[in-house]
Structure 1
Amino acid sequence: MIGLAGVVLGGVYADPLASRLVLGAAVGSVGVSLAARRLPSWLVAPLSVLGLLGYTAAALWFTAQRADLPGPLGTVAADAARNGIPRLLTALIPVEPMPDTVIVPVVAAWLAGLAGAEVGIRADRVLLGLTAPVALYAGALYVVGPNADSTPWLTVAFAAAGAVALAAGGRPAGPGRSGPADPGDGLAPGVRAALRARTLASTALGLVVVLGLAALVAPVVARQVGTTPVDPRRYVQPPQVESLDENPLIRISGWALNPDQKLLDLVTTGPGAPVAAGAPPGGAAPPPDGEGEEPTDEEEPVGEEDDPRAGRRIRLAVLGDYDGVTWRVGATYRNAGRVLPEPEPLPDARVTEVVQRITVDGLTGRLLPAVPTPREVTGARVAYDQASGTLIRPEGLSRGLTYSVTSRREEADYGLLPSASVPAGAEVARFLRVEPGAPEQMQQLAAQLAEDNGAPYARADAIATFLAEHYRVVADAPSGHAYPNLNFFLFGPVNGGGQRGTSEQFAAAFAVLGRMTGLPTRVVVGFQPPSGTGPVRGADALAWPEVLFDGLGWVSFDPLPKPNTRPKPVEQDFRPEPEDPTPPPEEATESPEATPSTTPDAQSAPRRGTGPGTPVLVGSGTGGLLLLLTGLAALVVGLRRAQRRRRLAEGSPAQRIAGAWREVTDALRLAGRPVPEHLAATEVAEHARSSLDGAPARHPGTARHPGTAQHPGTARQQGTAQQPGAGRRPGAGQPSGTGRAGPASGSPGPLRRSVPTVDDLATLVNLAAFAPGHATDDQARRAGELAVAYAAELRAGRPWWRRLLWSLHPGPLRWRR
Structure 2
Amino acid sequence: MVRRLFVPVALAGMLVLSAFALAPIYNGTLLPVLMAAAAAGSVLVGTGVRRLPAWTAAPASVLGLAVLTFVAVRVSAAAGQVPGSVPDIAREALRNSIPRLLTALIPIEPQPDTVVLPVIATWLAGLAATELGVRYGRVLLSYLPPTLLFGGALYLVGPDTTAARATTWVPLAYAAFAALGLIASGREPQPGELTADQRRTIRLRVGAGAAAGLAIIVVLSQFLGPAVAEQGSSTPVDPRNYVTPPQLDSLDENPLVRLSGWNLNKDQHLFDAVVTPEAQPLIRLAVLTDYDGVTWRIDSVYRNAGRVLGRPEGTGPEVTQRITIDELDGRLLPGVATPQRVDGVRVAFDAETGTIAYAEPLHKGLTYTVTSRRDPRPDDNALFVAEVPAPEEAGDLVALPGKVPDSISQLSSHLGEGVSNPYQRAFAIQQWLEEHYRLVADAPSGHAYPNVEYFLFGPKQAGGQKGTSEQFTAAFAVLARLAGLPTRVVVGFQTRKDDPAVRGGDAIAWPEILFKGVGWVAFDPLPKSDTVQRPVEDDFKPKAPPSPPPPQSVPPVSVSASPPASRSGSAQAAAPPAGSGTATLVAAASSAAVVVLVLAFFASVPLVHRARRRRRLEQGPPAQRIDAAWSEVLAGLRLAGRPAPAHLTAREVAQYASTAAIRHAHAGAPRLRSAVPPVDDLAALVNAVAFAGPTLAATSDSAAGSRGASAVSEPQARLAADQAVAYVAALRAQRPWWRRLLWTFDPRPLRWHRRR
- Please confirm whether the aligned pair reaches a TM-score higher than 0.5, indicating the same fold: yes
Q: Which residue of 1 aligns with 2:181?
A: 165
Q: Which stretch shifts more, 478-487 or 556-565?
A: 556-565
Match of 2:128 in 1: 115
* SS of alignment partner, residue 478 of structure 2: helix
Deviation at 1:390, TM superposition (A): 1.9
What percentage of aligned pairs have identical amino acids? 51
How far, CA to CA, are the matches of 2:497 and 2:107 in structure 1?
A: 35
Does the 8 Å contact 1:413/1:552 carry over to 2?
yes
Q: Deviations over 1:68-100 (max 9, x none)?
A: 344444444333222221222233333333322
Question: How far apart in 2 are the matches of 1:599 and 1:526?
Answer: 79
Alignment partner, residue 392 of structure 1: 357
What is the alpha-carbon distance in structure 2 between the residues aligned to residue 71 and residue 33 of structure 1?
A: 34
Distance in 2, matches of 1:259 and 1:95, equals 39
For residue 126 of structure 1, report the CA deviation from its aligned partner. 4.0
How far apart, CA to CA, are the structure 1 residues paired with 2:260 and 2:268?
13
Q: How big is the shift at 1:544? A: 0.7
What do residues 423-469 of structure 1 show as CA deviations (whole Å, max 9, x unaligned)?
13233343222333101111112222222544433433332233233
Q: How many residues align?
A: 523
Give the alignment of 1:613-762 within 5 angstroms: none
1:325 matched to 2:294? The reply is: yes
Change (3 A) 1:418 1:85: closer
Q: Which residue does the alignment assign to 2:497?
A: 531
Normalised to the residue count of structure 2, the TM-score between the two structures is 0.62
Match of 1:657 in 2: none
- Corresponding letter in the other structure for 1:377: V
Separation of aligned partners in 1, 2:551 and 2:17 = 90
Aligned ranges 1:246-325 → 2 under 5 Å = 246-269=253-276, 273-275=277-279, 311-325=280-294
Q: CA deviation at 1:119?
A: 4.0
One-letter amino acid of the counterpart of residue 401, structure 1: L
Query: Which residues of 2 match residues 490-639 of structure 1 at below 5 A?
Result: 490-531=456-497, 534-563=500-529, 567-577=533-543, 580=546, 590=553, 594-595=555-556
Question: Structure 2 unaligned runs (5+)?
Answer: 1-13, 194-205, 564-756
What residue in structure 1 maps to residue 747 of structure 2? none
Structure 2 matches for 1:121-132, cutoff 5 A? 121-132=134-145
In the alignment, the residues of structure 1 paired with residue 513 and residue 372 of structure 2 have an alpha-carbon distance, to the nearest angstrom, of 21
Superposed displacement of residue 344, structure 1: 6.1
Among residues 383, 389, 401, which one is paired with 2:348 in the alignment?
Answer: 383
- In the alignment, the residues of structure 2 paired with residue 601 and residue 404 of structure 1 have an alpha-carbon distance, to the nearest angstrom, of 101
Q: Does 1:242 align with 2:258?
A: no
Cα distance change of structure 1 residues 263 and 578 upon mapping to structure 2, 3 Å threshold: closer
- 8 Å CA contact 1:25, 1:106 repeated in 2: yes
Question: How far off is 1:23 after superposition?
Answer: 1.1
- 1:102 matched to 2:106? The reply is no
Query: Letter of the aligned partner of 1:411 in structure 2?
Result: P
Relative to structure 1, the CA distance from residue 354 to residue 418 in structure 2 (aligned partners, 3 Å threshold; closer, same or farther) is closer
State whether residues 333 and 358 of structure 2, in contact with CA within 8 Å, keep that contact through their aligned partners in structure 1: yes
Is the counterpart of residue 371 in structure 1 residue 336 in structure 2?
Answer: yes
Question: Which residue is 1:628 aligned to?
Answer: none
The answer on whether the counterparts of 2:388 and 2:422 sit within 8 Å (CA) in structure 1 is: no
**Residue in 2 aligned with 1:341?**
310
Equivalent-residue separation in structure 1 for 2:79 and 2:192 (angstroms) = 58
When residues 471 and 238 of structure 1 are mapped into structure 2, their CA distance, relative to the original with a 3 A threshold, is same
SS of the residue 2:388 aligns to = coil
| Residues 551 and 183 of structure 1, relative CA distance in 2, 3 Å threshold | closer
CA distance in 2, matches of 1:470, 1:152: 59
1:135-172 per-position Cα deviation (integer Å, ceiling 9, x unaligned):
22222232233334276753344344334435545669
Find the residue that maps to 1:142 and give its secondary structure: helix
Question: 1:465 and 1:328 mapped to 2: Cα distance?
Answer: 26
Partner in structure 2 of residue 149 of structure 1: 164
Aligned to 2:44: 31
Name the residue aligned to 1:225.
229
CA contact (8 A) 1:477 1:500 kept: yes
Q: Which amino acid aligns with 2:121?
A: A
Q: Which amino acid aligns with 1:165?
A: G
Whole-angstrom CA distance in 2 between matches of 1:97 and 1:32: 26
Asked whether the equivalents of residues 255 and 261 of structure 1 are also in contact (C-alpha less than 8 Å), the reply is yes
SS of the residue 2:335 aligns to? coil
Amino acid corresponding to residue 109 of structure 1 in structure 2:
T
The amino acid of 2:114's aligned partner reads T
2:382, 2:136 → 1: CA distance?
Answer: 74
2:34 paired with 1:21: yes
Which residue number corresponds to residue 410 of structure 1? 375
Cross-structure match for 1:438: 404
Query: How big is the shift at 1:405?
Result: 1.2
> Residue 178 of structure 2 aligns to which amino acid in structure 1?
G
Judge conservation of contact 1:420–1:550 (CA < 8 Å) in 2.
no
Deviations, residues 43-83 of structure 1 (Å, cap 9, x unaligned): 54334323323322322332333333444444443332222
Cα offset, 1:510, TM superposition: 0.8
- Amino acid in structure 1 at the alignment position of 2:174: F
Letter in 2 for 1:340: L
The answer as to 2:389 corresponding to 1:424 is: yes
Cα deviation for residue 550 of structure 1 reads 4.3
Q: Judging changes above 3 Å, is the alpha-carbon distance between structure 1 residues 258 and 58 closer, same or farther for their aligned structure 2 residues?
A: farther
CA distance in 1, matches of 2:456, 2:526: 14
The Cα of 1:4 is off from its aligned counterpart by: 1.7
CA distance in 1, matches of 2:561, 2:90: 100
**8 A contact 1:481–1:504 mirrored in 2:** yes
1:324–1:483 CA contact under 8 A, matched in 2: yes
Matched with 2:199 is none
Residue 138 of structure 1: which of 138, 141, 151 is its match?
151
* Shift of residue 111, structure 1, vs aligned partner: 1.4
Cα pair distance change 1:152/1:259, threshold 3 Å? closer
Classify 1:516/1:184 alpha carbon distance in 2 versus 1 (closer, same or farther; 3 Å): same
Gaps of 5+ in 1: 173-181, 187-202, 276-310, 603-817
Q: 8 Å contact 2:389–2:515 — kept in the other structure?
A: no
Aligned equivalents of 2:399 and 2:509: distance in 1?
A: 20
Matched residue, 1:684 = none
Structure 1 residues 138 and 532, CA gap change in structure 2 (3 angstroms): farther
CA contact (8 A) 2:278 2:497 kept: no
- Confirm or deny: 8 A CA contact 2:319 2:374 kept in the other structure: yes
Q: Contact 1:417–1:457 (CA<8 Å) still a contact in 2?
A: no
3-state secondary structure, aligned to 1:411:
coil
Equivalent residue, structure 2, for 1:755: none
Shift of 1:526: 0.8
More helix by share: 2
Cα offsets for 1:526-577 (capped at 9, x unmatched): 1112237522222211111122334543222222234597744432332222
Q: Is the 8 A contact 2:384 2:424 kept in 1?
A: no
Matches of 1:339 and 1:403, distance apart in 2: 13
Match of 1:10 among 20, 23, 39: 23
**Residues of 2 paired with 1:322 and 1:423: CA distance?**
19
1:236 CA drift (Å): 2.1
Q: Is the 8 A contact 2:287 2:489 kept in 1?
A: yes
What's the offset of the Cα at 1:263?
A: 2.0
* Secondary structure class of the residue paired with 2:330: coil
Cα drift, residue 588 of structure 1? 8.4
Instruction: Tell me if 1:352 matches 2:356.
Output: no
